[in-house]
Structure 1
Amino acid sequence: MAQFRPISLCTTVYKVISKIIVDRIRPLMQKLISPNQASYVPGSLLVKRVFFAWKVDLSKAYDRLSWQFIESVLYEALLPESLVKLIMSCIMSTSFQICFNGQLTDSFQAQRGIRQGDPLSPYIFVLCMEKLSHLIQTAVDIGEWKAVRASQSGPKISHLFFADDLMLFAEASQEQADTLKLCLDTFCSLSGQSVSYDKSLIYCSSNTTSDLAVDISNTCGSPLTSDLGKYLGMPLVHSRVTKYTYASLLEKAQCRLSSWKCKTLSMAGRLTLIQSVTAAIPIYTMQTAKLPMSICNKLDKLNRDFLWGDSDDQKKPHLINWDIVCLPKLLGGLGIKKTVDMNQAMLAKAGWRLLQNDPGLWACVYKNKYLQHADLFDDNYSSPKNCSSTWKSIVHGTRLLTQGLIWRIGDGRSTKFWTDIWVTPTPLIDSVITGIVINIEDKVHLFWDDNGWNERLLSSCLPLNIVNKILTIPPGFDGCGDDIQIWGCTSNGMFNVKSAYNIFFNSYDHTNSPWRFIWKLNIPPKLKTFAWVLCHGKLLTNTQRVKRRFTNDDSCPICKQNQESLVHLFRDCPAATNVWNVFSIPNSVANTYNLSWHAWLKAHLLCSVSLNSDVKWCSIFVFICWFIWKWRNKFVFEVNFQSPRNPGMIIKAAVNEWIKAQSKAAVNRDYCLSSLCWSKPPAGTFKLNIDGTRQGSSGKIGAGGVIRCFSGSWINGFQANLGVGDVLDAETWGLFHGLKLALSCRIENIQVESDSAILVKLMLHSDITMHPLGTLLACCKDLMGKFHSISLKHIYRECNMVADCLAKNSINHEHGIIEFPQPPIHAQSALLDDAGEITRVRRTVAGLPETTD
């Protein structure tokens, strides 16, 4: 009976109800659950004192939970009685049947336990385990349970829970063993749980006497061990990290790869498996551990060999260097991530959480142990010699993190104007005008005056382009808060691993990438990887085979007349010419036969002319090259192969088959033409329309806005030249100036409309704590709170033409804001159109609203 496991089947309706309940209680969990749950603190962090750890295994933890205990816990959590009754109804609706000799018995009701696979079950179990946490904490508070510390000033650690994975810590003594045993027995008697003592393990510190260790083991009823194994998949106790510590990762990756047959997969298929499966195997471990370089290199080798089709008995040529393969696709690679770099990017996340003052127990432990008198983000910080391997890993990740941190200006009193990174990718000291004497300790707020930025002072020591960038940064508004460090590699200022990994490619030029067009071609994935190899010029023709010393004969195997170079194989060989003659080549690339290989290839791949169908020539071109290469290989390796009599028909059939498959998989959207125009606000209410603009060539930004009353009459307007920045900067400044203008006009009830959906979402729904424009957005929210009634809504540009005219014209005047008590000439035409309710046509998705609140 010990091996029986109930299989829970939940209906769709039940799962919907269960998920609704989960959504109700999820926000409460943070307040109800102690930091010791869902925590991981490596055992090597514990100070050198006599202690023992008990790794507890609960037998059938889900199946044994008492329903009475669950109900009492829910009431203790102060959940509403109606919600408790609903939860208990879900739990107690369980019934079972037993399959005995192939026959199902009559169903019978369960008397305890919660379902495996029920969305509600994990939350119920965690709440029940919190009862044990309370019992332990009570024993600690009254001094019966003597917890251990990770450092002299660090927090006491008595237990760590993650679901049914339990770790208990106490000083090594007979009395403490009795206390731990009593707490567990009390909890088990209340909850119905049962400890599997034989599977549980006792670990004693090295300075614990053997006699005492045996006594503790006998009292607890669990065997002694010198290795607690893994907790949450990570080794708990180990000496110096070596390649053997994480050798299991290699075994997992090798096991996965050996189950796939390279010969039955295209290169694109192997690439997909690497990115989605094998590259993901070490991800969990890499979040908290710096893998040895040998492990990283071997993991990369496994992926590299699999990508090029190596097997145990045959090694294939690796056509392109691995460093190039691991570049992002826009830089000429395949986007496979190097393990060692990905490891550092994953570890950078731990450093980010420390920077954000993560409230978790793990952060408290590390800060007290290693950061009492040190700053992790100081360039001169180095980890102590005797620190744990986990802390060394976090420090390693932080070195990458600091490369992406920038300062967001608040009150300007913490950021050093010249040496901190806050406006440009490098410190401003690198851009100071020659001959100017500066004080490198100057803070940002010293460059403000009563009207904002001191433009005269800025212009005296910095180039104009940088001054224009500085002018778009909010200059110390009231209540703006302190300067903070944010992540400068994302648009919202929040860290993510992807952007951290991309730091390794900051030195590359991402603009106008010549590789972008390959991955946008409407062709099968295997043809995209084929085109990628073509563009690198590494296809294994006889010319390439001679370079690699695979052969001494570089002649074309078909015509026997010339070297089999790429340009000969795909363009000049008579066999290739016969294929090209079947197709009507567009005039724009018809006269490219005298170009070099790369120029000829690029010209065709960039040709977007469509032939008789909707298929672009660039896509057909790759299909043709693919079949030329395919038929060439059959000619070489198949004795009885004969060239097709009608190659054009075969290629066109393949193209049509792909297009047909694409049309079936595509999500068809119904579009319609909508007539849009500006609408007047209701009586007693005013309307503010705002817009921002950016000049692409110079990066100059500007904003404009207009206030009108319920009759459509002009009340006031403005346009502002803001300097150099992004379009969201312009839109946000437009909102700020528009709200200030409305307040100066003593308007109390107002509707605000913007054609920037991003701005509206940021203002209404997003957390702007770390946003680069957080200071300005917070000021806008503060201004909105000063109105009696206000609404902010997204509209299409066709309904915002007056503000659009004002914003575009703002680029033409000097930096600053201009108010218009009367309509300016450049906005009068759009204003008359709005007054006459002139509509403009826009193509929109059918069924979607024209505006988004």
Structure 2
Amino acid sequence: MGFPQRFCGWVFSYVRAPRFSILVNGQLTESIVAGCGFRQGCPLSPYLFIICSELLSLHFHQNFPELGATIPNVRKVLSILGDHCGWTGQKINKNKSVILFSKTTASSTKSRLARLAGCHMVEEMEYFGIKLAMRRLRKVDFSPLLQKIRSHTLSWGVLTEIEKICRSFLWDRDAEHKSLHYASWRSLARPRRVGGLGFHDSSNWTGPLREHKRGHSAGWKVICSEVESLEGCVRWRICTGSDVDVLNHVWILDIALSRWPTFCNVEMPQDCTVDEFITGERNWNKPKLLIFFGEALADRICDVKIWTELVVDTLELIKCPLGSSVSAICYNNAFQEVEDPCCPILKIGLRPRVRIFWWRVSKDLIPTGAWLARRGLSSDMACPLGFNQEENRDHITTRCMRLMEVLGWLANWGFNTPRFSSFAELQLALGGALRRPRTAGRFSIAGLSSNAGVQGT
């Protein structure tokens, strides 16, 4: 079929004599040679099956373009299938094979040809759940397929119900006492480093066939748009450079040059490829690089390896976390944001209830007077303890008179607690203390003294 000899050698080396070792108590056993063809779940198996099927299809089209219901033609078909089985090692199970004739074929001819082929004669059949018949299909013929689709889509509703249970567990006191949902589920279903609580939104993980229209599934994006969804996860290995766009592809560090500050000549053509900066000896053409790039960037480009052992430019993962799939890498890459200030609090060993409470404080999701007024649930923003001050996040964390009294009592008992003028100052100091390894283990967080604080715990 025109595949290069080197590619065929790679495939055969993977198929013919693969070796496996088992890790037992931290020690590898002796290698086991697998000589029984493809292993279950082998990712190469469906591709080779498609290639072999294409070979069979080409054999029919090239050598026998017209085949009718005659004895010589049946013998031709059996000969083609015999050749295919000899090439691929496959075998035909005639007990599971059937033959389908058109209405114009005589009954006596159907019987003779079915006996010659060694297959059962049927009026209609199913292939991968789709009915095949020599008549026009009706809606009722697709009823089993529609029923299977409905049975599979019921599980998606189950995931939605699971999310409802998670939200209820997080916000409601119990099944009988409902409470306000202070934050949206989408803001909760974000990694902790960017301000979420690490929940997973099912819409991102239910699979490509459900979510390709919404565009959330990383796996479906890889299939449909090749490497667009992997743009921030992969980098080009330079071999010839003919396939790599200088400005729009990632081949230096982890970001395309079009997103860098202006370090290059803006008159560079939009479709310029990397091979224009590579000499015939497969080295970087530094004088030409200096024409379009600054000296520092040209030096950095010269440090990029040219893979002379490759044949064409290839893609590689920029980062490959241990145990992470490509879909997981794409999912995490979607949250390339600055670390949220509340992230250090979520990382330390607080009790779950206390950790969630401080997350709510950092996100200003405590039912203070100012918060209730913003939501249209109250018109009075004054502190309910009667201090004639607006009750907001800064008030309940640093300025409330009742809090000052509690901190004064602690100081009299020998527990000196730092004072702050605003929550932003408190959060900055708290984050700095938690990042210091020696103090992170014994740092304690005092509770808040306020009516809003009591409601939030």
TM-score range for the pair, normalised by the shorter chain length: 0.5 to 0.7
**Alignment-mate amino acid for residue 520 of structure 1:** K
Find 1:409's aligned residue among 217, 238, 241.
238
**Alignment-mate amino acid for residue 317 of structure 1:** L
Distance in 1 separating the partners of 2:230 and 2:267: 32
**Alignment-mate amino acid for residue 548 of structure 1:** R
Distance in 1 separating the partners of 2:284 and 2:360: 53
C-alpha distance 486-38 of structure 1, shift in aligned 2 (>3 A) = closer
1:546 aligns with 2:369: no
Q: 1:468 — aligned with what? A: 299
**Alignment-mate amino acid for residue 309 of structure 1:** D
The alignment's TM-score, normalised by the length of structure 1, stands at: 0.35
1:335 aligns with 2:206: no
Q: 1:600 — aligned with what? A: 426
Find 1:207's aligned residue among 132, 143, 166.
132
Query: For the Cα contact (< 8 Å) 1:413–1:444, is it kept in 2?
Result: yes
Gaps of 5+ in 2: 1-21, 54-77, 101-110, 121-125, 136-140, 212-218
**Alignment-mate amino acid for residue 462 of structure 1:** F
C-alpha distance 429-566 of structure 1, shift in aligned 2 (>3 A) = closer
SS of the aligned residue for 1:320 comes to coil
Instruction: Spell out, residue by residue over 1:710-760, the C-alpha distance to the aligned partner (whole angstroms, 9 max, x if none).
Output: xxxxxxxxxxxxxxxxxxxxxxxxxxxxxxxxxxxxxxxxxxxxxxxxxxx
**Alignment-mate amino acid for residue 320 of structure 2:** T
Q: 1:482 — aligned with what? A: 312
Deviation of 1:204 after TM superposition, in Å, equals 7.2
C-alpha distance 553-345 of structure 1, shift in aligned 2 (>3 A) = same
C-alpha distance 491-545 of structure 1, shift in aligned 2 (>3 A) = closer
Q: 2:403 — aligned with what? A: 576
Find 2:36's aligned residue among 27, 32, 35.
32
Find 1:530's aligned residue among 354, 357, 360.
357
Distance in 1 separating the partners of 2:388 and 2:193: 38
Q: 2:214 — aligned with what? A: none
Deviation of 1:249 after TM superposition, in Å, equals 3.2
C-alpha distance 588-516 of structure 1, shift in aligned 2 (>3 A) = farther
**Alignment-mate amino acid for residue 251 of structure 1:** V
Distance in 1 separating the partners of 2:248 and 2:390: 59
C-alpha distance 342-252 of structure 1, shift in aligned 2 (>3 A) = closer
What is the total number of aligned residue pairs between the two structures? 367
**Alignment-mate amino acid for residue 335 of structure 1:** G
C-alpha distance 169-315 of structure 1, shift in aligned 2 (>3 A) = farther
Instruction: Spell out, residue by residue over 1:332-357, the C-alpha distance to the aligned partner (whole angstroms, 9 max, x if none).
Output: 11122333334578999xxxxxxxxx
Deviation of 1:518 after TM superposition, in Å, equals 1.4
Deviation of 1:444 after TM superposition, in Å, equals 2.8
Gaps of 5+ in 1: 1-16, 48-139, 148-154, 160-167, 182-200, 211-223, 228-236, 258-298, 349-389, 638-853
C-alpha distance 344-454 of structure 1, shift in aligned 2 (>3 A) = farther
Matches within 5 A, 1:629-640: 633=454
Q: 2:447 — aligned with what? A: 625
Find 2:391's aligned residue among 564, 568, 576.
564
Query: For the Cα contact (< 8 Å) 1:487–1:495, is it kept in 2?
Result: no
Distance in 2 separating the partners of 1:629 and 1:600: 17
**Structure 1 or 2: larger strand share?**
1
**Alignment-mate amino acid for residue 131 of structure 2:** S
Instruction: Spell out, residue by residue over 1:641-700, the C-alpha distance to the aligned partner (whole angstroms, 9 max, x if none).
Output: xxxxxxxxxxxxxxxxxxxxxxxxxxxxxxxxxxxxxxxxxxxxxxxxxxxxxxxxxxxx
Instruction: Spell out, residue by residue over 1:155-211, the C-alpha distance to the aligned partner (whole angstroms, 9 max, x if none).
Output: 99979xxxxxxxx974455969x9799xxxxxxxxxxxxxxxxxxx9987433379x
SS of the aligned residue for 1:486 comes to strand
Deviation of 1:445 after TM superposition, in Å, equals 6.3
Distance in 2 separating the partners of 1:305 and 1:158: 56
Deviation of 1:432 after TM superposition, in Å, equals 6.4
Find 2:287's aligned residue among 456, 467, 481.
456
Deviation of 1:551 after TM superposition, in Å, equals 3.7
C-alpha distance 540-466 of structure 1, shift in aligned 2 (>3 A) = same
Instruction: Spell out, residue by residue over 1:282-340, the C-alpha distance to the aligned partner (whole angstroms, 9 max, x if none).
Output: xxxxxxxxxxxxxxxxx5x5544443238665542121233332332122111223333
Deviation of 1:250 after TM superposition, in Å, equals 2.2
Q: 1:708 — aligned with what? A: none
Deviation of 1:416 after TM superposition, in Å, equals 3.9
Find 1:496's aligned residue among 322, 326, 336.
326
Distance in 1 separating the partners of 2:160 and 2:30: 38
Deviation of 1:484 after TM superposition, in Å, equals 0.8
Distance in 1 separating the partners of 2:447 and 2:178: 26
Matches within 5 A, 1:679-698: none
Query: For the Cα contact (< 8 Å) 1:327–1:335, is it kept in 2?
Result: yes
SS of the aligned residue for 1:540 comes to coil
Query: For the Cα contact (< 8 Å) 2:397–2:423, is it kept in 1?
Result: no
SS of the aligned residue for 1:485 comes to strand
Matches within 5 A, 1:84-103: none
Deviation of 1:598 after TM superposition, in Å, equals 2.4
Query: For the Cα contact (< 8 Å) 1:414–1:483, is it kept in 2?
Result: yes
SS of the aligned residue for 1:407 comes to strand
Query: For the Cα contact (< 8 Å) 2:277–2:289, is it kept in 1?
Result: no
